[in-house]
Amino acid sequence: MSSPRPVAISDHALEQLRYIRDTMERTGSFTAVPGWGGVAMGASALVAAVIAAMQADVRMWGIVWMCEVVLALAIGTAFILRKTQRGDRTMFAAPGRQFFLSFSPPVAAGGVLSWILYQQGAWAVLPGMWLMLYGAGVVTAGAFSVRVVPIMGLCFMALGAVALACPAAWGNWFLAFGFGVVHILFGLIIARRYGG
């Protein structure tokens, strides 16, 4: 009967270091939320609000804002990638995965509800719903990020609740204030305090 081979001390040490690194990574926060990306997303939302306000057809108004969603996602993703590469991190490490897995369900629900409400012509509720569900995604994802992120999400949710209680004609300006001004303000805070 042969005895088991002894484990080399270097192999054991490497295994322990991997465990420590993985544990630290899982408990870390996602710091790659892009401040300057938020500013850029806010600026594009302000432009979208002006273009949407010029539309005579409410369906075209919706299309302008849906195009803005695609543009904002592209801007946010590009800035997150840039910030993670600059910090020698990956956005797919545990905190980044947790951030995106928490952010995605409310945003996906918003997408499905938007399509249904778009088909039914229920335009009046879209601005408030968009702000609230985006805010919910930011709050839940913010649990894995820096402290200011969930506060920003709560601001979006509160603004969405107010938008739902106000006349539908104000919806475009609530979107401009939320996705434009709120993004810019919090983007500047994040850029200043958390490195861009």
pLDDT tens figures, 153-179: 999 999 999 999 999 999 999 999 999
Q: Which domain holds residue 169?
A: 33-194
Taking a C-beta distance cutoff of 8 angstroms, is the pair 160, 135 a contact?
yes
pLDDT above 90 coverage of the chain, percent? 47
In a domain, 114, yes or no: yes
In a domain, 151, yes or no: yes
Q: 120: how many CB neighbours lie within 10 A of its CB?
A: 8
Looking at residues 36-46, what average pLDDT do you find? 94
Is the pLDDT at 142 greater than 70? The verdict is yes
Task: Give every CB contact of residue 7 below 8 A, 6+ residues apart in sequence.
Answer: none
In a domain, 145, yes or no: yes
Scan for tokens 């938008």, then name that residue: 163
In a domain, 16, yes or no: no
Give per-residue pLDDT as tens, 52-99.
999 999 889 999 999 999 999 899 888 878 877 765 455 555 566 777
Q: Which residue has the higher pLDDT, 131 or 18?
A: 131
Structure tokens given for 139:
């709050």
Distance CA 96, CA 26 (A): 10
pLDDT at 9: 64
Distance CA 111, CA 1 (A): 64
Is the pLDDT at 37 greater than 80? The verdict is yes
How many domains does the chain divide into? Answer: 1
pTM for this predicted structure: 0.78
In a domain, 83, yes or no: yes
Looking at residues 121-146, what average pLDDT do you find? 89
Helix intervals (H) in 9-147: 9-27, 35-53, 58-86, 94-120, 126-142
Among residues 138, 136, 127, the alpha carbon closest in space to that of 166 is found at 127
In a domain, 176, yes or no: yes
Looking at residues 99-114, what average pLDDT do you find? 88
Looking at residues 119-125, what average pLDDT do you find? 89
Give, in order, the Cα–Cα distances in Å from 173 to each of 54, 131, 167: 12, 12, 11
Taking a C-beta distance cutoff of 8 angstroms, is the pair 132, 109 a contact?
no
In a domain, 7, yes or no: no
Looking at residues 109-128, what average pLDDT do you find? 91
In a domain, 131, yes or no: yes
